[in-house]
Amino acid sequence: MEQEAQRLEHIIEEAHDGKIHLSDNQIHNLENQAKYFHEHAGHEETHSRMALIIIVSLIAFQFVLLWWKRHHYRSYQATTTIGLWLIPFLFAIQSGMNQFATVWAIFTILNSWIIYKATRKPLHHMTPKIVYKWFWVIYQISYIIGIIGYFMMFLTFMGFGVSEPKDGEEPASSGLISWGLTLLSYGIYFGILGRDFVEFCTESMASTLGYYTKEGFPRKHLRLGVCAICGIHVSNAISTIDAHGHLQPPVVLQPSPNGAPIEPSIKLNCGHEFHEECIRGWCLIGKKDMCPYCKEKVDLRAFKTNPWDTTQQLYLNLLDALRYMIVWQPVIMGLVQFGFYMTGLK
């Protein structure tokens, strides 16, 4: 590193003497690099040791988190959701990112009202539909914003709108890729946060009705023809799921009085009936793959009626995977940096 620092200092001297042409910004960057190489000269072994510590820490914390999630899921999920909600906001406040802080505040206020509705006792029979519809809208908006941001970055990488930069100027595409990265980050973050909020609301609403419990038997007996998600009777237009996991067209057992519109219902393989909107929200939005009453597994293929549903389900799985990077990666790196500070490693 000492030789590299001397080489950079030689280039800086030639720039000051006018032998080579460099902008003030380029000279400043070279000076910072030379200073860094001087400070870390002879530290190659220390840096290798620090890199090994970081790798081992990431692997070890992964096992700790998996054990925590398996044996104490509620506390793990609550801690993850709180961290996902607060850590980016605190970072934005510290970094002066007022735009993100404003969007975060609006998102929090709107979802606070939805969470308030979902935790009321007694639960209104329309609340589950309102909650699932709201978070479906949140998901769709975040999905579209993320896709737009991705394509903006993709177009930049393909060379669209990129012009040759002049001396001391940034490339013309820097604004496009910056906006693309911002939109992609917004779509992913608020999509993940909405997923955690709806999971909390789903379990809260189901537990309030009494037809669902995390473990053991439900508090209330489910009567025939009652939807265990909203607590009201299902319609007479019943769809069933065949042996191949395909949803069959509804069969109207009895016409609705006064010609009122009939809300479609679905009968699962376990025999329990639900409003189609309720069970779709429970399975696809609420991240549940089982009957809320008897906990028998539900084939999610029956609810993917459109070709794009599979793609969106993959996007939802991606959001769940990225939660680790947003919440726990900064925590782990912060603990490692604190350990370096306490031991004097630089």
Query: Could you tell me the pLDDT band of residue 148, with boundaries at 50, 70 and 90?
Result: very high
DSSP secondary structure code for residue 264 in this structure = P
Q: Cα dihedral angle (101, 129, 231, 211), rounded to 10 degrees? A: -50
Task: Give pTM, 2 decimals.
Answer: 0.70
Output the pLDDT for position 253.
47
Query: Please, what's the largest Cα pairwise distance for the chain?
Result: 94
Query: Could you tell me the pLDDT band of residue 204, with boundaries at 50, 70 and 90?
Result: confident
| Sequence spans of domains, the chain | 2-39, 75-208+306-343, 210-305
Q: In the chain, helix, strand, coil percent, each to 5?
A: 65, 5, 30
Alpha carbon 171 to its chain centroid, in Å, reads: 31
Query: Could you tell me the pLDDT band of residue 61, with boundaries at 50, 70 and 90?
Result: confident
Kindly state the average pLDDT of the residues 61-67.
Answer: 86
Beta bridge mates, 239: 266
Task: Dump pLDDT digits (tens) for 107-135.
Answer: 999 999 999 999 988 888 888 888 988 98
210-305: what fold?
Answer: Herpes Virus-1 (3.30.40)
Sheet holding 251-252, edge to edge: 251-252, 237-240, 265-267, 273-275
d(CA 106, CA 200): 20
Quick one: which H or E segment has residue 306?
Answer: none
What is the residue-wise DSSP string for 268-294?
A: -TTS-EEEHHHHHIIIIIS---B-TTT
Output the pLDDT for position 41.
57
Higher pLDDT, 171 or 52: 52
Quick one: which H or E segment has residue 265?
Answer: strand 265-267
Output the pLDDT for position 319.
66
Cis peptide bond upstream of 122, omega within 30:
yes
Kindly state the average pLDDT of the residues 232-245.
Answer: 59
Output the pLDDT for position 308.
45
The answer to whether 234 and 273 have CB atoms below 8 angstroms apart is yes
Query: Could you tell me the pLDDT band of residue 38, with boundaries at 50, 70 and 90?
Result: low
The answer to whether 236 and 227 have CB atoms below 8 angstroms apart is no
Closest CA to 227 of 217, 235, 218, 215: 235
Residue 231 reports pLDDT greater than 90: no
Kindly state the average pLDDT of the residues 37-52.
Answer: 67
What is the residue-wise DSSP string for 187-233?
A: HHHHHHHHHHHHHHHHHHHHHHHTS--SSS--SS---TTB-TTT-SB
Residue 232 reports pLDDT greater than 90: no
For residue 39, what are the CA distances in angstroms to 32, 33, 36, 42, 340? 11, 10, 5, 9, 17
DSSP secondary structure code for residue 38 in this structure = H
Q: CA end-to-end span of the chain, whole Å?
A: 15
Task: Dump pLDDT digits (tens) for 291-327.
Answer: 888 888 887 666 665 544 555 566 666 766 677 777 7
Output the pLDDT for position 39.
61
Interacting residues of 262 by C-beta distance below 8 A, sequence separation 6+? 235, 236, 237, 252, 256
Residue 144 reports pLDDT greater than 70: yes
